[in-house]
């Protein structure tokens, strides 16, 4: 069965790299709940979150005028 894309879903044009990630049970449950609400896979939710995180890092670095990736204290 083909899964419907959530509103604003991006199409994948480049090949993907597989990764194995471990989450605390509470985070996993929250991600799974979000995926069910959006009617997408858990992997889609994680990819979307990672893309948003990386995009935000780039904007923050540009605003600070640095090219270094730094870990925030929050």
Residue 11 lies in a domain: no
pTM of the model: 0.60
Does residue 1 belong to any structural domain of this protein?
no
Collect all residues with Cβ–Cβ distance below 8 Å to 38 and sequence separation of at least 6: 6, 44, 45
Tell me how many domains the chain contains: 1
Q: Is residue 56 part of a domain?
A: yes
The Cα-based distances of 41 to 30, 33, 36, 68, 69 in angstroms read: 13, 10, 8, 32, 29
Q: What domain range is 56 assigned to? A: 25-63
Question: Has residue 39 been placed in a domain?
Answer: yes
Q: Which two tokens stand for residue 65?
A: 């005028």
What integer is the mean pLDDT of 12-40? 94
Report CA-CA distances (Å) from 43 to 6, 17, 23, 49, 68.
13, 12, 13, 10, 28
In a domain, 69, yes or no: no
- Domain membership of residue 5 (yes or no) is no
Look at residue 2 and tell me if it is in a domain.
no
* Residue 3 reports pLDDT greater than 50: no
């Amino acid at each position: 069965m083909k899964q419907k894309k959530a509103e604003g879903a991006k199409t994948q044009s480049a090949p993907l790299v597989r990764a194995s990630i471990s989450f605390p049970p509470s985070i996993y449950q929250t991600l799974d709940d979000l995926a069910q609400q959006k009617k997408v896979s858990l992997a889609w939710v994680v990819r979307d979150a990672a893309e948003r995180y990386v995009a935000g890092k780039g904007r923050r670095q540009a605003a600070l005028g640095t090219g270094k990736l730094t870990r925030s204290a929050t």
